[in-house]
Protein backbone atom coordinates (compact mmCIF):
# COMPACT_ATOMS: atom_id res chain seq x y z
CA UNK A 1 0.00 0.00 0.00
CA UNK A 2 1.31 3.38 -1.02
CA UNK A 3 1.91 6.32 1.32
CA UNK A 4 0.44 9.50 -0.16
CA UNK A 5 1.45 13.08 0.57
CA UNK A 6 0.02 16.39 -0.61
CA UNK A 7 2.14 19.22 -1.99
CA UNK A 8 0.47 22.60 -1.92
CA UNK A 9 1.26 26.21 -2.73
CA UNK A 10 -1.52 28.77 -3.08
CA UNK A 11 -4.19 27.21 -5.30
CA UNK A 12 -1.95 24.29 -6.35
CA UNK A 13 -2.64 20.95 -4.66
CA UNK A 14 -0.89 17.80 -5.93
CA UNK A 15 -0.70 14.30 -4.52
CA UNK A 16 2.40 12.14 -4.63
CA UNK A 17 3.24 8.55 -3.77
CA UNK A 18 6.32 7.93 -1.66
CA UNK A 19 8.80 5.27 -2.70
CA UNK A 20 9.77 2.55 -0.24
CA UNK A 21 13.26 3.71 0.72
CA UNK A 22 15.18 5.27 3.62
CA UNK A 23 14.88 8.78 2.22
CA UNK A 24 11.09 8.52 2.00
CA UNK A 25 10.98 7.21 5.58
CA UNK A 26 13.02 10.19 6.82
CA UNK A 27 10.81 12.66 4.95
CA UNK A 28 7.67 10.96 6.27
CA UNK A 29 8.97 11.19 9.85
CA UNK A 30 9.51 14.96 9.42
CA UNK A 31 5.99 15.75 8.12
CA UNK A 32 4.33 18.20 8.02
CA UNK A 33 6.91 20.36 6.24
CA UNK A 34 6.77 23.94 5.06
CA UNK A 35 9.29 26.08 3.22
CA UNK A 36 9.86 29.02 0.94
CA UNK A 37 9.92 27.86 -2.69
CA UNK A 38 12.96 28.60 -4.82
CA UNK A 39 12.89 28.01 -8.58
CA UNK A 40 15.73 26.58 -10.66
CA UNK A 41 14.38 26.13 -14.15
CA UNK A 42 11.54 23.60 -13.89
CA UNK A 43 12.45 22.56 -10.37
CA UNK A 44 11.18 23.84 -7.04
CA UNK A 45 13.27 23.29 -3.94
CA UNK A 46 13.13 24.42 -0.32
CA UNK A 47 15.16 23.73 2.80
CA UNK A 48 13.82 21.21 5.30
CA UNK A 49 15.02 20.14 8.77
CA UNK A 50 16.21 16.71 7.59
CA UNK A 51 19.87 15.72 7.34
CA UNK A 52 20.66 12.73 5.10
CA UNK A 53 23.76 11.55 3.29
CA UNK A 54 23.62 10.63 -0.40
CA UNK A 55 21.68 7.38 -0.83
CA UNK A 56 22.92 4.35 -2.76
CA UNK A 57 20.35 5.19 -5.47
CA UNK A 58 21.26 8.91 -5.66
CA UNK A 59 21.32 10.31 -9.21
CA UNK A 60 21.06 13.57 -11.11
CA UNK A 61 18.75 12.50 -13.97
CA UNK A 62 15.15 12.62 -12.86
CA UNK A 63 11.75 12.01 -14.37
CA UNK A 64 9.02 14.63 -14.58
CA UNK A 65 7.07 14.71 -11.33
CA UNK A 66 9.77 13.06 -9.27
CA UNK A 67 10.52 14.16 -5.70
CA UNK A 68 14.03 14.08 -4.32
CA UNK A 69 16.16 15.16 -1.38
CA UNK A 70 19.32 17.18 -2.13
CA UNK A 71 21.89 16.36 0.58
CA UNK A 72 24.23 19.39 0.13
CA UNK A 73 21.35 21.86 0.60
CA UNK A 74 19.16 19.78 2.94
CA UNK A 75 16.40 20.48 0.43
CA UNK A 76 13.13 18.96 -0.74
CA UNK A 77 13.13 19.06 -4.57
CA UNK A 78 10.30 18.70 -7.07
CA UNK A 79 11.13 18.26 -10.76
CA UNK A 80 8.77 18.67 -13.73
CA UNK A 81 10.95 19.67 -16.68
CA UNK A 82 14.33 20.95 -17.81
CA UNK A 83 16.63 22.76 -15.40
CA UNK A 84 19.79 24.76 -16.18
CA UNK A 85 21.75 21.46 -15.85
CA UNK A 86 19.57 19.59 -18.36
CA UNK A 87 20.69 18.35 -21.75
CA UNK A 88 17.42 18.38 -23.63
CA UNK A 89 13.99 18.02 -22.06
CA UNK A 90 14.78 15.72 -19.13
CA UNK A 91 14.82 17.13 -15.60
CA UNK A 92 18.32 17.13 -14.14
CA UNK A 93 19.45 18.05 -10.64
CA UNK A 94 22.48 20.25 -9.95
CA UNK A 95 24.14 17.19 -8.37
CA UNK A 96 23.04 13.74 -7.21
CA UNK A 97 19.79 13.70 -5.24
CA UNK A 98 17.99 10.95 -3.31
CA UNK A 99 14.72 10.14 -5.16
CA UNK A 100 11.84 9.40 -2.79
CA UNK A 101 8.49 9.88 -4.54
CA UNK A 102 6.46 10.64 -7.65
CA UNK A 103 3.60 13.08 -8.24
CA UNK A 104 0.31 11.58 -9.39
CA UNK A 105 -0.87 13.15 -12.63
CA UNK A 106 0.63 16.15 -14.41
CA UNK A 107 3.19 18.09 -12.34
CA UNK A 108 3.26 21.04 -14.77
CA UNK A 109 0.87 23.01 -12.54
CA UNK A 110 3.98 23.67 -10.45
CA UNK A 111 5.14 26.12 -13.13
CA UNK A 112 2.82 28.74 -11.57
CA UNK A 113 4.53 28.56 -8.16
CA UNK A 114 6.59 31.72 -7.60
CA UNK A 115 9.92 32.19 -5.82
CA UNK A 116 9.25 32.80 -2.14
CA UNK A 117 5.77 31.25 -2.18
CA UNK A 118 5.11 28.92 0.75
CA UNK A 119 5.19 25.21 -0.10
CA UNK A 120 3.49 22.80 2.28
CA UNK A 121 3.88 19.03 2.43
CA UNK A 122 1.42 16.97 4.46
CA UNK A 123 0.51 13.31 4.90
CA UNK A 124 -2.91 12.41 3.51
CA UNK A 125 -2.87 8.62 3.49
* Domain total of the chain: 1
Would the pTM count as exceeding 0.85? yes
Whichever domain contains 83, its CATH number is: 2.40.100.20
User: Residue 116 pLDDT more than 60?
Assistant: yes
CA distance 24 to 101: 7
Tens of pLDDT, residues 50-76: 999 999 999 999 999 999 999 999 999
State the DSSP string of 107-119: GGGGGGPPTTPEE
Contact 100, 2 (CB under 8 A): no
Report residue 2's pLDDT band, with 50, 70 and 90 as the boundaries. confident
Share of the chain above pLDDT 70, in %: 99
Structural domain range at position 51:
4-123
Amino acid sequence: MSIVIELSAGEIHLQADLYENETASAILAALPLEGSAARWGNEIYFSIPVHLDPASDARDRMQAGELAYWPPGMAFCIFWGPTPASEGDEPRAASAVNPFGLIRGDPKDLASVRDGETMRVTLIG
